[in-house]
Amino acid sequence: MTTSLLSPLVALPASLENNPLLTFGRGIAAYSEVKPEHIAPAIGFLLKYAQDAVDTATHPETPSSWEKLVEPLEDATEALDRSWGAISHLNNVADTPELRAAFGQMLPEYTAFRSNLGQNLALYQKFKALKNSPQFAELNRAQQKVIENSLRDFRLGGAELSDAEKPRFSVIQDEQASLGKKFSEHVLDATDCFVHTITDKADLAGLPEDILAAAADTAQQKGLQGWAFTLHFPSYYPVMQYSENRELRRLMYQAYVTRSSELGPQYGEGKLDWDNTHNMLDQLRLRDEEARMLGFANYAALSLAPKMANSVDEVDLFLTNFAIKSKPFAQKDYQELCEFAKAELGFTEGLEPWDIPFASERLKQTRYAFSENELKQYFPLPKVLDGLFRVIQTLFGVKIESANLPTWHADVQSFAVKDLAGKIRAYFYLDPYARPGKRGGAWMDDARGRRELANGEIQIPVAYLVCNFAPPVTVDGILRQPTITHDDVITLFHESGHGLHHLLTQVSALGVSGINGVEWDAVELPSQFMENFCWEWEVLEKMSAHAQTGKPLPRELFEKMLAAKNFQNGLATLRQVVMSLTDWRLHSSFDTKSAKGQSVLEVSRNIADEYGIIPQPEISRWINSFSHIFAGGYAAGYYSYKWAEVLSADVYSAFEEAAKLTGSVLDAKTGARYREEILEVGGSRPAAESFKAFRGREPSIDALLRHGGMA
């Protein structure tokens, strides 16, 4: 079937009739047919088509109605986004120099179109007119939410500012972008410039062979003798964990925590130009000014507009409460560590910050040693997939069957999600293995969203699940079964949780169906929720089969995994909470006007002193490399990691409660409620309402504390 993507709205010119980026219709893209030379003509055409739709929508005679305004605009922008999405997906999973160049060539135009759309005042007026029209009340909840979200985004983009204020507003945006970029460049440069070389192997006692091999490799690449260590995490952290050389650990630690500060040159060979002290203050001032221009008391309040949390105080209280509850457990962890270090490692005068990961790793080995490699033998990928599908099918009343969609690589599998009557509700792809030309990490992305078309037909959703597991190997001419680590199993469940959120939606308005329009701090709920099943014996037992013997995971090994899971979790939790609180206070109660010099550092110090456990050394300038909040889009948002964990743990505890009655966490009744109240509604109603509808009450921190061994 080769209906045009735009059919029946517009006819394609003859020159584009065979362009696969335009001919996949409302169906599935033929990824293997897409060539770099298809990109510019297709995207050029679709940009023009979308711009025409914008022009029509903003024409004075176009009525502000759902059918005349929102729908045609959605048709055109969806066509553009889907083609663009297919290309950027290929760029991520099947990169070639030619594809990258063609993608890069169109990127500025695409980005410019998107940002102009968000600042189009005429369009803003049209949406406002629709909101104020009698039709608004007749629209369904999801449609109303699409319009409200658009108006909100226009406002946050400065649409309601006066003409006198607008130039300043855009200067603020530009300066923020450039300061953020500089911040991360400074961190990168300060991280890159430091190298510490060791030539006597005796100084490297304790480091595992693979770490030594990597260090020798680094030295060779840099034209140095011996072993070289850098401040990049995969080089830095193993030294902190394993090196018995305390002096080496101290040296690396001091270089690490003084990056991009005035102390950088002293401890890390950095430059004064890379000092972020003033950059941080400048950014905080600009954010504060932006918030006030838009009518908010501070930046934290502004950042909450598209989030689930309701108020600045609510988040502050959430974090301080969390800190208070986790502090005794952190204290216990720390004490235990100090005692162990004294008795077993000879640290009679206490632990310095550079001793903590080392002592911690030794304690872990002593208590919970098991071989990761042995564990891995129990998780062949096909068996894990069966286990995952069993969980999904049991809980959510669907069937997952292999499909035969066209893909971009022979390793990629595709599946259909069917309801019990056999009707297809969604499709997804699984691209499991690492390979050249594929970006690292794991992610879920949407290929297509659920939507009711103008002719009343339902377009069903499609998602990509992408992982980077070790590919299967051939030994003595025989292809071995691919096995994955337990961490990989958790990753797969996590991404499938995002996938289910997108695929099981029943919402018909594209802007809020599936993962679209879900609040920023609630997006990780369905993904983290799924991770819990990877720690259930009833799930693991059926999901494991030793690659050689076929036997399931021994119960004894499972108990060890479980015991190791929460090792030193009190300390880890408190650390995250203190970082979140620092971010939050800097964006809410910090007075940027009277602040000067080291004020940002002082705020972080005070919070650490009040809530933390491990004293920060005088020279620590960790905040100067806190890229999440000064260069990564997590400004006033770092709390969301913990926020979503609380939600997902609390949701999961409903399944644990059901298990007390039924004997199984795979309880179909609770699963059906979760599907209806959380997954199916997507972004069509506030996450707080969805949570409450499922749980029957406000979120509580208790389940997360209990799961983390802090109860």
- 3-state class of 9 per DSSP? coil
- Mark whether 495 is an active-site residue: yes
Q: Are 255 and 240 in contact (CB under 8 A)?
A: no
Angle CA 613–616–621, to nearest 5: 140
Q: Which is nearer to Zn ion, 245 or 527 (CB)?
A: 527
Number of residues lying near Zn ion (CB under 5 A): 1
- 3-state class of 605 per DSSP? helix
We find the least distance from the C-beta atom of residue 393 to Zn ion, in angstroms, to be 22
Q: Which is nearer to Zn ion, 622 or 641 (CB)?
A: 641
H helix intervals, 597-707: 599-611, 627-630, 640-662, 668-674, 687-695, 702-707
Report residue 333 as tokens.
Answer: 């962890």
Give the residue closest to Zn ion by C-beta: 527
Q: Single out the segment in contact with Zn ion by CB under 5 A; choices: 311-319, 419-427, 526-534, 699-707.
A: 526-534
Q: Which is nearer to Zn ion, 377 or 532 (CB)?
A: 532
We find the least distance from the C-beta atom of residue 443 to Zn ion, in angstroms, to be 8
Q: Single out the segment in contact with Zn ion by CB under 5 A; choices: 176-184, 291-299, 523-531, 610-618.
A: 523-531
We find the least distance from the C-beta atom of residue 430 to Zn ion, in angstroms, to be 16
Q: Which is nearer to Zn ion, 258 or 527 (CB)?
A: 527
We find the least distance from the C-beta atom of residue 321 to Zn ion, in angstroms, to be 25
Report residue 693 as tokens.
Answer: 């509808």
The active-site residue, picked from 71, 289, 290, 495, is 495
What mask, x for binding Zn ion by CB under 5 A, covers residues 112 to 151? ----------------------------------------
H helix intervals, 157-165: none
Report residue 522 as tokens.
Answer: 């609630």
Q: Single out the segment in contact with Zn ion by CB under 5 A; choices: 102-110, 170-178, 508-516, 520-528.
A: 520-528
Burial zone of 528 (CB within 10 Å; 0-12 exposed, 13-18 middle, 19+ buried)? buried
Judged by CB under 5 A, the chain residues 392 through 421 that form the site for Zn ion are none
Q: Single out the segment in contact with Zn ion by CB under 5 A; choices: 81-89, 198-206, 519-527, 599-607.
A: 519-527
Report residue 287 as tokens.
Answer: 């954010």
Q: Are 534 and 707 in contact (CB under 8 A)?
A: no
We find the least distance from the C-beta atom of residue 442 to Zn ion, in angstroms, to be 9
Dihedral sign, Cα of residue 2, residue 7, residue 11, residue 13: negative
What does the alpha-carbon distance between residue 152 and residue 511 come to, in Å, rounded to a whole number?
Answer: 13
Dihedral sign, Cα of residue 637, residue 641, residue 644, residue 650: negative
We find the least distance from the C-beta atom of residue 502 to Zn ion, in angstroms, to be 12
**527 near Zn ion (CB under 5 A):** yes
We find the least distance from the C-beta atom of residue 499 to Zn ion, in angstroms, to be 10
Report residue 491 as tokens.
Answer: 């990753």
Q: Token pair 């216990």 is at which residue?
A: 332
Judged by CB under 5 A, the chain residues 306 through 365 that form the site for Zn ion are none
Q: Which is nearer to Zn ion, 130 or 484 (CB)?
A: 484
Q: Single out the segment in contact with Zn ion by CB under 5 A; choices: 266-274, 414-422, 524-532, 568-576.
A: 524-532
DSSP string, 504-530: S----SGGGSTTTT--TTTTTHHHHHH
Q: Which is nearer to Zn ion, 333 or 650 (CB)?
A: 650
Chain contacts with Zn ion (rule: CB under 5 A): 527
| Residues with catalytic roles | 495
